[in-house]
Amino acid sequence: MFTGLVQGTGEILASAPQLRGTSLCVRPLEAAFRPGLGSSVSVSGVCLTVVDPQPDRLVFDLSPETRRLTTLGSLRPGDPVNLEAALRVGDELGGHFVSGHVDAMGRVRARGEVEECLVLEIEAPRELERWIAPKGSIAVDGVSLTVNGIQDRVFSIMLIPHTITRTTLGRLAVGAPVNLEVDLVARYLDRLREAGVP
């Protein structure tokens, strides 16, 4: 479990196909970010397990499902990623509950500026639209954000300067794919409603 408050960024060093999937090698850019063997890490919103921690890099295994459903399968050396270590008991919950189980990929449709802030418009797949609401929470590439508004399948988010400089989102170009995870609370409330629970 994560909060969507990114603790740092990393750089892809290698993504080499293996017999049973792909090994993803990431170099954290913050010296203090050093999770150990077996630790869960959110890599641009995808929960991965550290299988080989080195002093200057972390290695993760990607399943075929992860490569197919997220942006991680298309990453190349030099690409940036957001990093967050798993939530521990007693940690501050400043964002919202993020599982690291990506629902689908979206795509940046527009970007603009409002004073010092960056506004991104992101198109979500039709099946996620029902769980995205104005002033609700959504994770975009692992970053906990507030939905400003939504029209049809396109929702808007506003990034403050801190988010722009501390995450990879400020570098997203129009057309870029992003990992999306809808709010867990919205998903479970909808499921209870479907089940007829009062």
* pLDDT < 50 regions, the chain: none
pLDDT of residue 19: 61
Predicted local distance difference test score (pLDDT) of residue 140: 98
Burial class (CB in 10 A: 0-12, 13-18, 19+), 158: middle
* Predicted pLDDT at 128: 94
Angle at 42 between CA 65 and CA 3, to 5 degrees: 125
Q: Which tens digits make up the pLDDT trace of 86-106?
A: 988 878 778 888 999 999 999
* Residues 25-35: tens digit of each pLDDT: 999 999 889 99
List the domains of the chain with CATH numbers: 8-85 (2.40.30.20), 104-194 (2.40.30.20)
Helices (H) and strands (E) in the chain, counts: 3, 12
pTM as predicted: 0.93
